[in-house]
Amino acid sequence: MSKVLIVIGDAAEALDTMYPLFRVQEDGYEAVIAAPEVRTYHLVMHEIPPGWDVTREGPSYHLKSHIAFRDVNPDDYAGMFITGGRAPEYLRYDRDLMRITRHFFEHEKPVAVVCHGAEIVATANVIQGRRMATVPKCQFDVEICGATFVNEGCVRDGNMVSGRTWHDNHLYMREFMRMLREYVEHSLSHRR
């Protein structure tokens, strides 16, 4: 069974996280939750209420990680999913997560990024010259790191597919699952 690394931390957005978690399992992949430490993390719910200009955050589900970033051997994984919410604001300072992220891009393995997850790939310095979607408030992060912000629900550029928010789950996850399938099939054919 191929494994997919799912990156979370406290304040990861619940719908950004839970839909992809179940979606990769639905297609037979082992979902491995990676975080700064092995413990239970507090997910949050983000929404822009009618009449508001900014996102309101509320408590949501809890999710236990399986592995700490420092213990991840990225060679063991076929793909990586980077969730949104506020977690990426501080996860992007984790050196081991930066090592893992760079590995996936150097080896052209499938990576899906949603919402504030753009802050992680931007900090890892792997998006220069690429097109990517993210929540509009992360447009600056994407552009200052050399990428082109695209306000669409699913943007694929090479080994990365990105979406704006959980509202786009059905768009970019379809493409991510196709990318995983193609990567695994290609890897298996080269082992024979």
Looking at the structure of the chain, the number of domains it has is 1
Q: Are 173 and 187 in contact (CB under 8 A)?
A: no
Vertex 98 angle, CA 93 and 145, to 5°: 80
* Residue range of the domain that includes 60: 3-191
Confidence of residue 192 (pLDDT cuts 50, 70, 90): low
CATH assignment of the domain containing 91: 3.40.50.880
pTM of the model: 0.96
Conformation bin of residue 75: beta by default, left when phi > 0, alpha when psi is -120 to 50: alpha
Rounded percentage of the chain residues whose pLDDT exceeds 70: 99
Using one digit for the tens of pLDDT, what is the confidence trace for 123-180?
999 999 999 999 999 999 999 999 999 999 999 999 999 999 999 999 999 999 999 9
d(CA 158, CA 88): 22
> Residue 63: beta bridge partners?
41
Beta strands per DSSP E along 8-66:
30-35, 40-47, 56-64
At 145 the pLDDT is: 97
**DSSP structural state of residue 29:** P
Using one digit for the tens of pLDDT, what is the confidence trace for 75-134?
999 999 999 999 999 999 999 999 999 999 999 999 999 999 999 999 999 999 999 999
d(CA 164, CA 152): 7
Catalytic residue numbers read 116
